[in-house]
Amino acid sequence: MNTINPNAVGQRSKDATRPWKWSIAMYAGGSPLRLKPTPGVSNPVLSAADVTDVPARFVADPFMVNVDGLWHMFFEVLNNEPNRGEIGRATSIDGLTWHYERIVLQEPFHLSYPCVFEWNNDFYMIPETLGAEAVRLYRATSFPDHWTKVKDLVPGKHADPSIFLRDNKWWLYTCPTPHQHDTLNLYSSRDLFSNWIEHPLSPIISGNKSVARPGGRVLQYDGRLIRFTQDCVPTYGRQVRAFEVTELTAHTYKEHEVAESPVLTPDGGAWNVSGMHHVDAHRTNGSWLACVDGLVDV
């Protein structure tokens, strides 16, 4: 997510003084579309109070990877001193109890939404980099704590870029209207590093802030392709909805909202009473484990 500094690139609220307070929790279920708070876990599992190396205002936008039996979670840490987002990391053996490690990526501009993935035995990250005026790709030169810019993939200011590989082709959703949250663009490339082109039907959503802005990792689930989206009506980050993409080619695109949608809603808990806007779900031992975030608008 983006900082609320009125002078910062990623301002999410028209009320720049609004004191957002996001934290991270763990959900689980038999399906990534039917997730509930994980039994036996005291949510949130990570908050600003857990951050030890910078003065944090909140944590949000979590993405996980499991490497050799250890979970690594990457997420935005809103650093109070420069008043901008940086990327932090936490670890867990069981995916339930988490230990904050450190800030792993800083730039002179705001960072958030660290979409991390493994490909060809390397780890990559595409965070939101509005201040770079491009969608930027990073590679772990030494996983998990050292990341280096590879190159800019798509020019322009794009919120919450969400990448996935389908049929030997890379695809990328972005929101090119980070202040309005109402547009969804789609790009593709046969090569992760170059030749990204915009889909002929892009923007595939325009003028609809309830279904446009990406809300987590694109999921390939039992042969289905699921796109999660933030519902920003009546306010930003209210809940998470899910769409199944039923047709995706170089020239066509079709999707429909799944019956289980919305898949994340505020449940009255003290940590998420005001909203939820992100999910990253992973299959584990026949069930699903997900990191999510929630909002208290204090």
Kindly report, residue by residue over 98-147, the tens digit of the pLDDT: 999 999 999 999 999 999 999 999 999 999 999 999 999 999 999 999 99
Look at residue 7 in the predicted model and tell me its pLDDT. 32
Look at residue 77 in the predicted model and tell me its pLDDT. 98
Phi, psi of 49 (to 5 degrees): -65, -20
The domain segmentation of the chain, as residue ranges, is: 22-295
Look at residue 161 in the predicted model and tell me its pLDDT. 98
Average pLDDT over the chain, rounded to an integer: 93
Look at residue 12 in the predicted model and tell me its pLDDT. 38
- Whole-angstrom distance, CA of residue 163 vs CA of residue 170: 7
Look at residue 269 in the predicted model and tell me its pLDDT. 79
> Please, are residues 56 and 71 in contact by the beta-carbon 8 Å criterion?
no
Strand pairing partners for 189? 170
pTM score, whole prediction: 0.93
> Please, are residues 130 and 159 in contact by the beta-carbon 8 Å criterion?
yes
Q: What is the CATH number of domain 22-295?
A: 2.115.10.20
**Per the structure block, which two tokens stand in for 178?**
């980070």
Task: With a cut of 50, list the residues of the chain below it in pLDDT.
Answer: 3-18
Look at residue 285 in the predicted model and tell me its pLDDT. 87
> Please, are residues 199 and 188 in contact by the beta-carbon 8 Å criterion?
yes
Look at residue 147 in the predicted model and tell me its pLDDT. 98
